[in-house]
Chains A and B, each alone.
Chain A
């Protein structure tokens, strides 16, 4: 698991909420820190990849899929770069 500074739990939130909430959280994150986002929305994997391509101050450090109580969690690690 990569290093992270803060966690955002968006389990159960459907598209577009995981990304809406992440964007907001990144804005409030100190520059250089990493945000862990935990989502149950499978579509978020491709969407976060697409988003960071044009996002101004966000870098996608890592993504992983983990099992928790029989459900898949899609975990994203986002660094605020500026």
Chain B
């Protein structure tokens, strides 16, 4: 067969279309043609209706018939995925020549990994709260926009998404708020501060690398417990919540219509909570997290406070509209990890639910406080794979 990448007639599916399909929970079949290691490190994940098969593209080159024989016969459409979008075109063309209807994901996993989804959590006369998600990693960030002012919570690495959003809303960025110094991804905060002049806030306890014990060399404003930011008509209060990191905070946004939105960062998640061991001192930090979670958090939570974490673990946490948020009452009902426990029970719960500690997380924290400056390629590599900030379910 002849094949030239530039003249491929294979239909493509964009990351945006793929995400819509994944969210819809309609049956979907993905054929991932990367090698096994790459596939295992970061597969495309969806609801239970998603079926995925890993069959490297070189199996199709080596023995087309044998590879084709391994495909299920009952699939109507195949979404073919590879690393950059070239091999998936090749395989999709093979499939199309054999009676399948195959489409190829544009730019492969690079395109998927760097795809951002933007949608409103709330929109009213006072302004908007916007969720900016990076679905491949399960990363969530937020914008609060009111009366021409904007604040960002936990902005991610690709900062143009935020600049376009804020410009499009005709607003000015007045505060960049990170709930903590992240270990799993590179923050967009410092770069946004440099480009826009808006102040970048982190709690000073997070400005020291917990393992190197070296201070941040980026420019930041030290965040105080109880510090208030007035973003137009929205009042945002920082609440110290140590445990996942020593300087982790929650941000409570209160809107004029009585709405309460709590940005929990890697504090509590919808189905889990943030692990206390990523600073390398899990034993010492677990009791601190316990106090934050069971003594401090209930004081400022009401049943209808919307919980908006910095991560989701699976698409099943979607509220049904692509928004990964829920009222506190509902979170309590569906999140077994938040059940009342004694400190002893809590400690053994944490110990028995700790996932692997990705070694690159130590380096990512260095990047986030300016101790290391990676090039683009290195940054992509550090951020490969989904976040592992939550305790395992």
Q: Which residues of chain A from 6 to 26 have a CB within 8 Å of any chain B CB?
A: 14-17, 19-20, 23
A31 to B310 alpha-carbon distance, docked (Å): 57
A23 nearest in chain B by CB position: B61
B84 engages A23 (CB within 8 Å): no
Which residue of A17, A20, A46, A55 contacts B35 across the interface (Cβ within 8 Å)?
A: A46
Residues of A with C-beta under 8 A to B90: 16, 20
Which residue of B3, B5, B35, B63 contacts A47 across the interface (Cβ within 8 Å)?
A: B35
Chain B facing A: main interface SS: helix
Residues of B with C-beta under 8 A to A46: 35, 37-38
For B, the interface residue count at a CB cutoff of 8 angstroms equals 19
Residues of A with C-beta under 8 A to B63: 54, 56
A56 to B66 alpha-carbon distance, docked (Å): 12
A20 engages B61 (CB within 8 Å): yes
Contact of B57 with A by CB under 8 A: yes
A15 engages B87 (CB within 8 Å): yes
A15 to B84 alpha-carbon distance, docked (Å): 8
Contact of A43 with B by CB under 8 A: yes
A20 to B59 alpha-carbon distance, docked (Å): 11
B86 engages A19 (CB within 8 Å): no
A50 engages B56 (CB within 8 Å): yes
Residues of B with C-beta under 8 A to A49: 35
A31 to B82 alpha-carbon distance, docked (Å): 32
A20 to B276 alpha-carbon distance, docked (Å): 48
A50 engages B5 (CB within 8 Å): no
Residues of A with C-beta under 8 A to B61: 16, 19-20, 23, 51
Residues of B with C-beta under 8 A to A51: 56, 58, 61-62
User: Smallest CB–CB gap between B250 and chain A, Å?
Assistant: 41
User: Smallest CB–CB gap between B51 and chain A, Å?
Assistant: 22
A49 to B36 alpha-carbon distance, docked (Å): 11
B83 engages A43 (CB within 8 Å): yes
A39-73 toward B: CB 8 Å interface, digit per residue (1/0)? 00001001101110011100000000000000000
Which 4 A/B pairs are nearest by Cβ-Cβ distance?
A51-B58, A16-B87, A50-B35, A15-B86
